[in-house]
Amino acid sequence: MSIPGKRIIQNLIKNAEIARTEGIPICQDTGFAVVFIELGQDVHVTGGDFYKAINEGVRKGYREGYLRKSIVRHPLERKNTGDNTPAIIHTNIVPGENLKLTVLAKGCGSENTSAIKMLKPSEGVEGVKKFVINVVKEAGPNACPPVVLGVGIGGNFEKAALIAKEALLRPVGKKSRMADIACLEEELLEEINALDIGPLGIGGKTTALAVHVEVFATHIASLPVAVNINCHASRYKSAIL
C-alpha cells in the first residue's frame, strides 16, 4: 500500500473508533434503512401493523439519534420525508418461533455505483468476473473505497440484486461455504485490488476489503449478475426476538 493510502486507512480506523466511543455516525450519510426480517412460521405478530411498527422504529432511531434524514417521498418531486422513512423491508418466512431483524444502514454513494447485468450463459465465469471488475473500475473513488462487495449470481433480475445485498450481511471476509464460490471470491478480490484504485481512490492495493458472492438457481437461458457495493462504513446490526 502507498504511504498516502496507509495514512487514509489509519484515519478511517481512527474515525471508526471516535464514532464507536462517542456514539456518533461513522459517516455523514447515515443511509437508507434496509430491514431484513426472518419471521419464524410459528410466530404470530399482534397489536398492529408490523411494517408500520418497523417504520416507526426507523423514524424514532433517526430522530433521536440525530442521524441525517436522506429519504425523499417521490423520486422525481424530491421532497424529504423528514424522518428517513419509509424503510426498504425484505421478509423471509423461516421455520421456528423466533423473529430476527437485521437493519442495514446503506449509504447511497456506494449504492449509486452498484449495477446488474443479464449475461448470456455462454459468458460463464469469465464473463461474471469481467462484469464485476468493470463495475468496481467505473465506481472508482465514488464508492468510498476500501469497499465490501456483494455479488449475486443467478435467480432472475430482482433475485440477483437481492442476494447481492444479502451478501453484504456476511461478516467481512467470511468465505462462502461452496468451494468453487470461495475460490471465485479470492480471485475477484485479488484482481480488484490490482486495479490501483486504493483507499478513497488515491491509488494502492487496498480497493476492496472483501468480496462476498451468493448464488441461486436460474433459468437455462439466463445468467444474471448483480454487484452491490458497500463503502468502508459497513453498518448493520441484528436482533433476535
pLDDT tens sequence across 183-238 = 999 999 999 999 999 999 999 999 999 999 999 999 999 999 999 999 988 899 99
Element at 6 (helix H, strand E)? helix 3-22
What is the model's pLDDT at position 2? 64
For residue 17, being part of any structural domain is answered with: no
Mean pLDDT of 3-20: 90
**Domain co-membership, 123 together with 95:** no
Evaluate whether residue 50 is within a structural domain: yes
In this predicted structure, what is the pLDDT of residue 46?
94
Asked if residue 220 belongs to a domain, the reply is yes
d(CA 148, CA 12): 15
> What pLDDT does 107 receive?
93
Whether 18 is covered by a domain: the verdict is: no
Within a domain: residue 241? no
How many structural domains compose the chain? 2
Domain ranges, residue 51: 30-106
Question: Do 132 and 68 reside in the same domain of the chain?
Answer: no
Q: Calculate Rg over the CA atoms of the chain.
A: 19
Whether the predicted pLDDT of 123 surpasses 80: yes
List pLDDT tens digits, range 25-48: 999 999 999 999 999 999 999 999
Q: Do residues 71 and 127 both lie within one domain?
A: no
Percent of the chain with pLDDT over 70: 99
The alpha carbon of residue 77 and the mean position of all alpha carbons in its chain are separated, in whole angstroms, by 26
Amino acid residing at 138: E
